[in-house]
Amino acid sequence: MEKIEYKEKAIEEISVRVKEILELLGEDVNREGLRETPTRVAKALYEMTSGLRTEPPKIKVFNLSETGDVEYEEDQLIVAKDVGFSSLCEHHLLPFIGKVHIAYVVGKGGKVAGFSKLIRITNYYASRPQIQERLVSQIADALMNSDVEPKGVLVIGSGVHMCSFVRGVKDREANLVSIATRGVLKTNRSLRNQAMRLIESSTKQNLL
């Protein structure tokens, strides 16, 4: 839990620096539309980087062995699709937004992850200055090393990056796709292809 005193102090300090940046850009920070902007920007940045100051959420486990069908449930392929995310590119501090798709293979204990926890872990690692390639790897590692104990994990991320959308090459069509694989979903090509087909079946070849 973040301390209120630290949060208020941080937002105050950030807002001062945002005001300085606007002045350096040639803006009149006292005009009507910008008077509250430094504070708004500070609050937004603080919210968008919450993952830097909080503990990762614990992935809740449901034990399917309690149903008596462990033999059947082991090796089951689970896919969570279209998990939306937004993050800040660590190179320009501009947003990149998109979707993450997560697949994993149930292990010997017959454990599965709570669906909402997969969303929370995605949001946690997205809430910081980030690159998409690292984001999918962190999600994959978090699930692979969790109490779920899956045999394998596959994470696909697809995002539009404002650093190339609004500046530089200004490409409005390009999106970046990144993939991380662990365990049997790294070593078993057939199983990996099956997981990717399940993901692509509902995205209609458009992962974003």
Per-residue model confidence (pLDDT) at position 65? 64
Per-residue model confidence (pLDDT) at position 207? 46
Per-residue model confidence (pLDDT) at position 205? 47
Average pLDDT over every residue of 97-103: 98
This prediction has a pTM of 0.90
Instruction: Quick: pLDDT tens for 52-90.
Output: 999 999 998 988 666 665 555 788 999 999 999 999 999
Residue type, 147: D
Name the average pLDDT for the chain. Answer: 91
What CATH superfamily is the domain 3-52?
GTP cyclohydrolase I, N-terminal domain (1.10.286.10)
Per-residue model confidence (pLDDT) at position 167? 86
Per-residue model confidence (pLDDT) at position 131? 97
Per-residue model confidence (pLDDT) at position 125? 98
Q: What is the DSSP letter of 172?
A: S
> Which among 37, 34, 52, 39 has a CA at the least distance from the CA of 12?
39
Q: Which residue has the higher pLDDT, 73 or 154?
A: 154
pLDDT tops 70 at residue 199: yes
Binding-site residue positions for Zn(2+): 89, 92, 163
pLDDT tops 90 at residue 172: no
Burial bucket for residue 47 (CB in 10 Å: 0-12, 13-18, 19+): exposed
Confidence of residue 139 (pLDDT cuts 50, 70, 90): very high
Instruction: Quick: pLDDT tens for 45-56.
Output: 999 999 999 999
pLDDT tops 90 at residue 141: yes
Per-residue model confidence (pLDDT) at position 187? 97
Distance CA 111, CA 108 (A): 8
Q: Which of 38-47, 85-94, 136-145, 193-202 has the lowest mean pLDDT?
A: 193-202
Binding-site residue positions: 89, 92, 163
| Residue-range domain boundaries for the chain | 3-52, 61-201
Is the four-CA dihedral 172, 181, 205, 201 of positive or negative sign?
A: negative
Look at the domain 61-201 and name its fold.
Answer: GTP Cyclohydrolase I, domain 2 (3.30.1130)
Distance CA 7, CA 15 (A): 12
State residue 201 phi and psi, 5-degree precision.
-60, -35
